[in-house]
Amino acid sequence: MSHKRFRTIKSEIRVLGIDDGKFVPHKPGNVMVVGIVFRGGFWFEGIMHTCIAVDGFDATEKIADMIKQSPHYRQLRLVMLNGITFAGFNIVNIKTLNSETKLPVVALTRDMPDLKAIRDALENLPKSEERWKAVVDAGEIFEVATREETKVFMEFAGISESDARKIIRLTATRSSLPEPLRVAHLIASGLTSEKADLEKV
C-alpha cells in the first residue's frame, strides 16, 4: 500500500475531522455525519455533512462523496475519523476511503477497540463478512500519546505511522483527541440532540 509522504508537516495543515450524531441503536433510520475542517489544531475553517443508515452499509461511500463534493476538498491533506464504526455498525473501510478520496485516513478511538465484541455483534447483521473485512482492512492498532498522561488508539491508511503520529500530536491542542475530531463530535451531537428535541414538540 502506498503512503503519502509529507516532506514537512505544516502547523496549519488542513485536517477534516468526522463524527456521527446521536441515534437510537438498532432502530431503522438515518444518522447525520458531520465533517469539520481545521487548520492545524486551532483554526476552524468549514463544515460539511451527510446522512448514513443505522447499521447500514453506506458509510464509506457517503463519506467519500461528502468529501469530494465539498469546496474544501482540494485543500484537505488528511481525514480523521472517530473510530471506524458509525451509526451502530455502519463500518468505514479506511483503505477504500483513502483510495476514493486520495487522502490519508486516520481513525482514532479513546479506548482500545474490542475486536471480539465487534466480530460477535456483526454476526447478527447482513453482510457480516464484508463488514468484518472492513475491520480487518483497518490494520494494526497503535497506541499514541497525545498529551501528558493521555493516549488514543489509531489505525491508518495511505500515510506512514510516523507522519500520522506527528499530525495527531500537532492537532491535539486542547484534549486527548485532535481538535477536528473533538469539535466534530460536539457539533454532530448538538445538532442531533436539537433535532430530537424539536421532534418532541
Instruction: Look up the CATH number of the domain holding residue 168.
Output: 3.30.2170.10
Report, as ranges of residue numbers, the positions in the chain whose pLDDT lies below 50. 194, 196-201
Which residue stretches of 37-178 are H helix? 59-68, 94-101, 115-122, 128-137, 161-171
Residue 8, in any domain of the structure: no
Residue 199 has a pLDDT of 47
Q: Show contacts of 124-131: CB within 8 Å, 24+ apart.
A: 125/55, 125/89, 126/57, 127/57, 130/57, 131/57, 131/89, 131/91
Residue 134: how many CB atoms within 10 A of its CB?
24
**Which three cell numbers, joined as nine digits, stand for 72?**
474544501
Burial 12-31 (b: 16+ CB within 10 A, else e): ebbbbbbbbbebeeeeeebb
Residue 147, in any domain of the structure: yes
CA distance 46 to 63: 16
Residue 5, in any domain of the structure: no
Number of domains in the chain: 1
Chain centroid, CA 48 distance in Å: 13
**Among residues 20, 105, 114, which one has the least CA distance to residue 59?**
20
Residue 193 has a pLDDT of 66
CA distance 172 to 195: 29
Which residue stretches of the chain are H helix? 59-68, 94-101, 115-122, 128-137, 161-171, 179-200
Residue 6, in any domain of the structure: no
Residue 192 has a pLDDT of 72
Residue 2 has a pLDDT of 61
Residue 3, in any domain of the structure: no
What lies within 8 Å, CB to CB, of 165 at 6+ separation is: 142, 144, 154
Which residue stretches of 108-171 are H helix? 115-122, 128-137, 161-171
pTM value? 0.91
**Which residue range is the domain that position 35 belongs to?**
14-200
pLDDT tens per residue, range 53-91: 999 999 999 999 999 999 999 999 999 999 999 999 999
Q: Average model confidence (pLDDT) for the chain? A: 91
